């Protein structure tokens, strides 16, 4: 059985759940919409100390002081999902791409809906920036945290609002 360090923390966009393995961040989810973890294979151990480096960088992000995350990720998914999530990591801070753009980037130009489903299953919100993916029309659509949070994250990155308050966790 694998043990993951975990932590629940408040944030400017609502409560977040973080979990990390010895390899990197496995989960960063909006607590209201957490995906199930395999209880027979994964054990969670609460540890603010183990998650401190991740919290520090998230705090900097919400304060408008960080544009890229430097901590390691331990992404777990299908080959297709991993390709989608890695393409999301290539979207520059403050920019957006369409589902079609991502489908083309991974070599599956007709897989727009499958890209959308992969985004829906993204286990590391904010860091793997599925909030930067919009409809081809330029409108906001689909986001696990809700469209209001998607708008807040895009506004933060595009500088149209003041940075959010820090998490206040002292990491």
Retrieve residue 12's tokens: 């400017």
**What CATH number does residue 40 fall under?**
3.30.160
Among the listed residues 6, 84, 112, 130, the single catalytic one is 130
- Phi, then psi, of 153 in degrees rounded to 5: -65, -40
- Contact between 12 and 165 under an 8 Å Cβ cutoff? The reply is yes
Residue 41 and residue 102 share a domain = no
- Decide if 130 is catalytic: yes
Report the SS3 class of residue 80.
Answer: helix
132 band by pLDDT with thresholds 50, 70 and 90: very high
Q: How many CA atoms lie within 13 A of 71 on its CB side?
A: 27
CB atoms within 10 A of CB 38: 8
Residue 72 has pLDDT above 70, yes or no: yes
Residue 170: its pLDDT value, please?
45
Residue 122 and residue 55 share a domain = no
Residue 167 has pLDDT above 70, yes or no: no
Identify the top-confidence range among 36-50, 103-117, 131-145: 103-117
Kindly report the pTM of this predicted structure: 0.87
């Amino acid at each position: 059985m694998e043990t993951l360090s975990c932590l629940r923390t408040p944030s400017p966009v609502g409560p977040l759940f973080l979990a990390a393995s010895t390899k990197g961040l496995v989960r960063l989810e909006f607590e209201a919409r957490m995906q199930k973890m395999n209880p027979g294979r994964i054990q969670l151990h609460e540890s603010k100390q183990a998650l401190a480096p991740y919290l520090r960088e998230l705090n900097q992000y919400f304060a408008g002081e960080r544009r890229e995350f430097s901590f390691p990720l331990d992404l777990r998914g299908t080959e297709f999902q991993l390709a989608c999530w890695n393409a999301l990591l290539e979207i520059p801070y403050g920019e957006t791409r369409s589902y079609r753009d991502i489908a083309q980037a991974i070599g599956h130009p007709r897989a727009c809906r499958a890209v959308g489903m992969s985004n829906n299953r993204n286990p590391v919100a904010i860091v793997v920036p599925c909030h930067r993916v919009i409809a081809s029309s330029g409108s906001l659509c689909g986001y696990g945290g809700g469209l209001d949070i998607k708008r807040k994250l895009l506004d933060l990155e595009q500088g149209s609002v003041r940075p959010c308050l820090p998490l206040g966790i002292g990491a």
